[in-house]
Amino acid sequence: MSEEDLIAERRKKLDNIRASGINPYPYTYKQTHHSKDIHEKHKGLQKEEHSSEEVSIAGRIMTVRKMGKAAFFDLQDSSGKIQIYIREDSVPEEDFNLFQNLDLGDIVGVKGNVFRTKMGELSIKCKKLTILTKSLRPLPDKFHGLKDMEIRYRRRYLDLITNPEIKDVFIKRAQIIREIRNFLDEKGFLEVEIPNLQTQYGGASARPFKTHINAWDMDLFLSISPEPHLKRLIVGGFEKVYTICKNFRNEGADKTHNPEFTMLEFYQSYIDYDEGMSIIEKMVESVAMSVLGTTKITFRGETADVKAPWTRITMKDAIKQYAQIDVNSLDDEGLKNIMRNHNIEYEGDFNKGMAIMKIFEELAEDKIRGPVHLIEHPIESTPLCKSLRTGDNKFIERFESYLFGVELTNGYSELNDPILQRSLLQEQSDARLMGEETYPMDEDFVQSIEYGMTPTGGVGLGVDRLVIFLTNSDTIRDVILFPTMKPEQETKEDNN
């Protein structure tokens, strides 16, 4: 039977229910229990033993097994499933007639007593059946759940219905974010909000999403990073601030990237990147203990212990260890040969620092299992970080934390020299093109630094990536309830 025929059949049943004088979409229902509570409370009930306690439960019908004048059906609520037993002679006549017009996916309320069947299944013997919502569309697969990943991501509501175990991922995600907040709040950080719509974008090397405000007839950008605004707050006198926010980057999507993603960033006055590393590793350790009960994380068959302290390694040493290349011994031509031999693409004029970064990203990055802090990056990687205090101004006090070959965090000893900051941002602005347009540097941000910013350490953490690791999920789409997707029609055309 086609889906259209099934919908037509359900509409007929809907008409039958209404014709009997029953409202198939009532306003409320008195729910006294959830399935998980009932299973826990009555786990000691023996076979064919009945409880005198009456319960009232509500949920969605997932399976039905009819046996003439009686039937069993599974009711699924937010906490799990429980079996319902209904007999013609144990409910009012109108209730059993109602049952004949119900389908899989309908939402009902059931009042009755708990008992255990002779087969050992904890069940509720229905005394009163109430229709709460008549479903007009059939569920995709009543036996095996929804398997098509494209449909699961696009229609998350169906995924949650047919694969209820994935709710655990998002419950755990909420717990992870709550524990991050608890950790920072206990250390005296203040949670703040930054605007998503901005007249200037900055804080990361990324292409922004551009929009337009009609009231002012001007372009705006969706935030690519909260960094410039959080630093303004440090200038303003806050010493410890953080935000958990959405960032938007108009770039590709893969297993660890979504155009819209959740980021934690925190900044603290009077610390450097050493203490930033210490804070972030203790935070991840604390979150893992709270969520998993252990600091050992298992991900795709690998196990890593996130207990602090974590290993630290320079970018140059990581290249030497994981790619067997000593970039210290290579001149410009030697670096070019390495890139040619490994088909590493390089655009624009040659730059030694960028070449080292490219070699690391292509030949070493995914081999770092971690947890490890990658330190001492080339200065070309960001204009917002202080150079090494050793006097080597070609490398900066920046770190990225890696776990299972994936970057998890990014932190700096923040640059607060206003003259150097202006110079570096101006260089970035001169080089940054969008189409045929060049966007100017954020003059207000530079001016804020000129008023004086304390020595500061700052760290950003990819919340979605941390959730991937702590839930042993396959991709970022598995931990975002509604990941960014192409319109369905475009996807079908792409597959043709």
Domain containing 193 — which CATH number?
A: 3.30.930.10
**How confident is the model over 69-86, as a mean pLDDT?**
97
Q: Taking the C-alpha atoms of 452, 230, 462 and 379 in order, what is their torsion angle to the nearest 10 degrees? A: -30
Report if residue 326 sits inside a domain.
Answer: no
Distances 196 to 154, 231, 243, 430 between C-alpha atoms, Å: 24, 16, 12, 24
Residue 494's SS3 state is helix
- pLDDT above 60: residue 437: no
Which tens digit of pLDDT belongs to each residue from 269-288?
999 999 999 999 999 999 99
- What pLDDT is recorded for position 143? 47
**How confident is the model over 244-252, as a mean pLDDT?**
93
All residues at 6 or more sequence positions from 112 whose CB lies less than 8 Å from its CB, including other chains: 54, 55, 84, 124, 125, 126, 127, 128
Same domain assignment for residues 91 and 194? no
Same domain assignment for residues 84 and 171? no
Same domain assignment for residues 476 and 415? yes
- pLDDT above 90: residue 487: no
Report if residue 191 sits inside a domain.
Answer: yes
All residues at 6 or more sequence positions from 70 whose CB lies less than 8 Å from its CB, including other chains: 85, 86, 87, 88
Does an H or E element contain 423, and which?
helix 418-431
Bridge partners for 64 per DSSP: 73
Report if residue 315 sits inside a domain.
Answer: no
- pLDDT above 70: residue 54: yes
All residues at 6 or more sequence positions from 223 whose CB lies less than 8 Å from its CB, including other chains: 194, 195, 196, 197, 198, 201, 245, 246, 247, 248
- What pLDDT is recorded for position 212? 96
Looking at 124, 139, 154, the residue that finishes a domain is 139
Residue 87's SS3 state is strand
- pLDDT above 90: residue 224: yes
pTM over 0.95: no
DSSP conformation letters of 234-272: HHHT-SEEEEEEEEE--S--BTTB-SEEEEEEEEEET--
CATH of the domain at 39: 2.40.50.140
The residue segments making up the domain with residue 45 are 3-139
Residue of higher predicted confidence among 146 and 427: 427
Q: Would you place residue 252 in the very low, low, confident or very high pLDDT band (cuts 50, 70, 90)?
A: confident
Which tens digit of pLDDT belongs to each residue from 360-395?
999 999 999 989 999 999 998 888 999 999 988 899
- Provide the angle, in degrees to the nearest 10, between the axes of the packed helices 167-186 and 273-292: 140
Same domain assignment for residues 385 and 261? yes
Contact 143, 62 (CB under 8 A): no
Same domain assignment for residues 260 and 131? no
Dist CA 219 CA 305 (whole Å): 46
Does an H or E element contain 464, and which?
helix 463-471
Bridge partners for 77 per DSSP: 80
- Angle at CA of residue 161, ends 148 and 494, nearest 5°: 25
- pLDDT above 80: residue 86: yes
> Percentage of residues in the chain with pLDDT exceeding 70?
95
- pLDDT above 60: residue 14: yes
Count of domains for the chain: 2
- pLDDT above 70: residue 428: yes
Report if residue 290 sits inside a domain.
Answer: yes
Looking at 87, 105, 139, the residue that finishes a domain is 139
Which tens digit of pLDDT belongs to each residue from 101-157?
999 999 999 999 999 999 999 999 999 999 999 999 999 865 455 677 888 898 999
Q: Would you place residue 435 in the very low, low, confident or very high pLDDT band (cuts 50, 70, 90)?
A: very low
Same domain assignment for residues 15 and 109? yes
Same domain assignment for residues 121 and 211? no
| Mean pLDDT of all residues belonging to the chain | 93
